[in-house]
Amino acid sequence: MGSISELLFQEFRDATQASAQHCREVSLRLANEVSRICTESQRIQRSGEVETWMVTLARHRLNQCLKYNRLGSRRGRVELHSTLSAVIYRYITPPQVQSSYQARLTLIEDFLQGFYIESLNAFRRENQVPSDYRPRSLLELSEYMAFTERYGKRRIPLPGRRSQQLIILRAQTFSQQQPPETMVDMEQAAEGSSPDGDRSWSTAPLQQVREQMVAREPDTDESSLRRTVIQELMAYLEERQQEDCANYFALRLKDLPASEIEAILGLTPRQRDYLQQRFKYHLIRFALSHHWELVHQWLEADLERNFGLTPQQWARLQEQITPKQVELLQLKQDKVEDGAIAQILGCTLTQLHKQWSKLLELAWEIRNS
């Protein structure tokens, strides 16, 4: 551990303007954390490369600290706030509550203020510093912000071999604890009403909220199907560790303008455009392969309705596909199982799914042309 501490100390001395004492203290804390992780992790102990792991983890923490140190106190706080806000944005409001964009931001602010306090207490506990410890220098503040980011993203084991980030679990609990009255107050604040004014249901902002709640349409088959599509797409993205795409999708569902999405996710217009293209790629894969039946049913473009094509478009599709695809289409319409179809066509299941995706994509293009 001494070599790790010395490595960190030299890096901090070279890359920051912090005093030698602060560099030494931060280096010792990070080295202790890395040592503890490597000692407690059975996977690292079994790897036979404990020293390599210690250096890798130490450099990861070093780079995080230096990132926040370069940003400075104000920009570092903004960066941390944006990072954590993007993670929790779609978890912070209970599904039964219709809240405005501004109301949700207010809730996020309230939640994160509490989370920062929890993180500081965890930092004090895990680093065995005094119970009243607070970061004083820029390097100490950078250390705390880097710790808070890692603390929030820790994976917590759940039943069924699943796991979830700690900050998401905290955000879900926070949302469930919000009473309806609090959410109404948030709406009132977002509308700019005076806190000393009339709080009855007859005031204009609260009247709007009441009307929205009362006028909410009953859960139709269409809305239920739409909700299922959204849930399945979210699960698809999370399974593939595309959490940034999932966060982007959640904001798109709110019909937010590009500038607000960029502000919440902390992206430049170019980065947001790149994320949008990556999301589009996964959306197409989801719609044309993994959950094509669900998506096409929701779009009223399933097989029973000839993919939503007009008679002329359906004829065009038939003309453009190969004889094998014609047979594939007929077998699908006859509701033959994929395994049996693969045997009939003399191909593997993977080859069958690729052919079917190409056919769906062609039908999509014809329908939207």
Whether residue 347 is found in the same domain as residue 255: no
pLDDT at 309: 64
DSSP-assigned states of every residue in 224-250: HHHHHHHHHHHHHHHHTT-HHHHHHHH
pLDDT at 16: 92
Kind and range of the H or E run holding 192: none
Residue 157 in any domain: the answer is yes
Whether residue 156 is found in the same domain as residue 238: no
* Helix, strand or coil, per DSSP, at residue 159: coil
Task: Say which residues have a Cβ less than 8 Å from residue 24's Cβ, sequence separation at least 6.
Answer: 9
Whether residue 153 is found in the same domain as residue 66: yes
For the beta carbon of residue 183, count every other beta carbon within 10 angstroms. Answer: 20
**Tens place of pLDDT for every residue, the chain, 369 residues?**
678 999 999 999 999 999 999 999 999 999 999 999 888 888 888 888 888 999 999 999 999 999 999 999 888 998 898 889 888 887 886 544 445 566 777 788 888 988 999 999 999 999 989 988 999 899 999 999 999 999 999 888 887 778 888 999 898 888 877 654 444 333 333 333 333 333 433 344 334 433 433 344 444 445 566 677 777 778 778 777 888 888 888 877 776 777 778 888 888 888 888 888 888 777 777 766 655 554 555 555 555 566 666 777 777 777 777 787 777 777 777 777 777 878 887 888 777 777 777 777 777 677 665
Strands (E), 123-240: 155-158, 162-165
Whether residue 30 is found in the same domain as residue 118: yes
Task: Say which residues have a Cβ less than 8 Å from residue 175's Cβ, sequence separation at least 6.
Answer: 91, 92, 93, 94, 107
Residue 115 in any domain: the answer is yes
Whether residue 113 is found in the same domain as residue 61: yes
Residue 182 in any domain: the answer is no
Answer yes or no: are the C-beta atoms of 363 and 295 closer than 8 Å.
no
Answer yes or no: are the C-beta atoms of 360 and 284 closer than 8 Å.
no
Whether residue 227 is found in the same domain as residue 350: no
pLDDT at 1: 61
Whether residue 285 is found in the same domain as residue 318: no
Half-sphere exposure for 167 (CA within 13 Å, toward CB): 27
Q: What's the rounded Cα separation, in Å, for the pair 292 and 309?
A: 16
pLDDT at 22: 93
Structure tokens at 51: 């020293």
Structure tokens at 313: 């478009």
Whether residue 19 is found in the same domain as residue 77: yes
pLDDT at 105: 77
Last residue within a domain, chosen from 292, 325, 346: 292
Q: What's the rounded Cα separation, in Å, for the pair 253 and 265?
A: 15
For the beta carbon of residue 84, count every other beta carbon within 10 angstroms. Answer: 22
What is the DSSP secondary structure assignment for residue 168, as one 8-state letter? H
Q: What's the rounded Cα separation, in Å, for the pair 28 and 4?
A: 9
Last residue within a domain, chosen from 292, 310, 340: 292
Residue 249 in any domain: the answer is yes
Q: What's the rounded Cα separation, in Å, for the pair 282 and 295?
A: 14
Q: Which long-range contacts (CB under 8 A, 24 or more apart) does 317-324 make?
A: 317/362, 317/363, 317/366, 320/362, 320/366, 321/359, 321/362, 324/355
Quote the longest CA-to-CA distance of the chain.
79
Residue 76 in any domain: the answer is yes
* Helix, strand or coil, per DSSP, at residue 157: strand
Q: Specify which residues 158 forms β-bridges with.
A: 162
Whether residue 272 is found in the same domain as residue 339: no
Whether residue 54 is found in the same domain as residue 73: yes
Last residue within a domain, chosen from 242, 273, 292: 292
Whether residue 256 is found in the same domain as residue 233: yes
Q: What's the rounded Cα separation, in Å, for the pair 262 and 360?
A: 33
User: What's the domain count of the chain?
Assistant: 3
Task: Say which residues have a Cβ less than 8 Å from residue 110's Cβ, sequence separation at least 6.
Answer: none
Residue 113 in any domain: the answer is yes
Number of helical (H) and strand (E) elements in the chain, helices listed first: 18, 2
Residue 75 in any domain: the answer is yes
Residue 197 in any domain: the answer is no
Whether residue 36 is found in the same domain as residue 163: yes
For 231, the domain range is 220-292
Strands (E), the chain: 155-158, 162-165
